[in-house]
Copies of this chain bind each other. A is one copy, B any other.
């Protein structure tokens, strides 16, 4: 899966794009998990593979920072952006993992909206990464990610209200709350990526 994304001579921009593409895969797996008739175990396995591929990309970036004398922007910023992209994958992986771990068979309807937000965030982030080279058109990306984060937050709150409406028993609430919080955490992690990109642009401007 990784090779598909990985050009022979990859620059930092290529590696960041690669990292973001792993997140597109991850968000697609989340949406597969929500639709019936899919093997959750098989999806969890593919998510684990995507997560490992993302880890390798992260380490390629760190290794390249080590071995490169001149970097396109501050070494620390490269490091922060790489870790932030990695954090998104970890949160998406956690969500899938908890569904399996808690043996949850059905999720609240609004989780679909959370996952749609995650898919859109992943696409936007994958589109934004190449723009790091020119630092162009990044404002639209931040603004849209922030708008999506607000949408996701509304869904998250509606889910919480429903969980506590009395139709679920406490243990079920605990399980489902952990899962929707992972999804919300993944959305927030996308916003953090956008904030770091914003910081880099601020410094490079």
User: Are B62 and A161 in touch, CB under 8 angstroms?
Assistant: no
In the assembly, what is the distance between CA of A164 and CA of B169, in Å?
A: 13
Closest Cβ–Cβ distance, residue A66 to chain B (whole Å) = 6
Q: Is A18 an interface position by the 8 A CB rule?
A: no
User: Are A79 and B170 in touch, CB under 8 angstroms?
Assistant: no
Q: Is A76 an interface position by the 8 A CB rule?
A: yes
**Closest chain B residue to A199, Cβ basis:** B79
Query: Given A173-B171, A174-B174, A161 and B101 touching (CB < 8 A)?
Result: yes
In the assembly, what is the distance between CA of A160 and CA of B166, in Å?
A: 23
User: Are B76 and A199 in touch, CB under 8 angstroms?
Assistant: yes
User: Are B173 and A79 in touch, CB under 8 angstroms?
Assistant: no
A158-194 interface bits toward B, Cβ cutoff 8 Å, 1 = contact, 0 = none:
0011001010011101110100000000000000000
User: Are A65 and B202 in touch, CB under 8 angstroms?
Assistant: yes
In the assembly, what is the distance between CA of A198 and CA of B66, in Å?
A: 10
Closest Cβ–Cβ distance, residue A116 to chain B (whole Å) = 22
Q: Is A31 an interface position by the 8 A CB rule?
A: no
Q: Which residues in B have their C-beta under 8 angstroms from that of A173?
A: 171, 174
Closest Cβ–Cβ distance, residue A163 to chain B (whole Å) = 9
Q: Is A83 an interface position by the 8 A CB rule?
A: yes
Q: Which residues in B have their C-beta under 8 angstroms from that of A175?
A: 164
Closest Cβ–Cβ distance, residue A2 to chain B (whole Å) = 18
Closest Cβ–Cβ distance, residue A72 to chain B (whole Å) = 15
Q: Which residues in B have their C-beta under 8 angstroms from that of A174?
A: 164, 170, 173-174, 177
User: Are A195 and B75 in touch, CB under 8 angstroms?
Assistant: no
User: Are B157 and A198 in touch, CB under 8 angstroms?
Assistant: no
Q: Mind listing 8 A-B residue pairs with CB under 8 Å?
A: A66-B202, A79-B202, A83-B195, A101-B164, A164-B171, A166-B171, A171-B173, A173-B174
Q: Nearest 6 pairs between A and B by C-beta? A: A170-B170, A101-B161, A170-B171, A79-B199, A65-B202, A102-B164
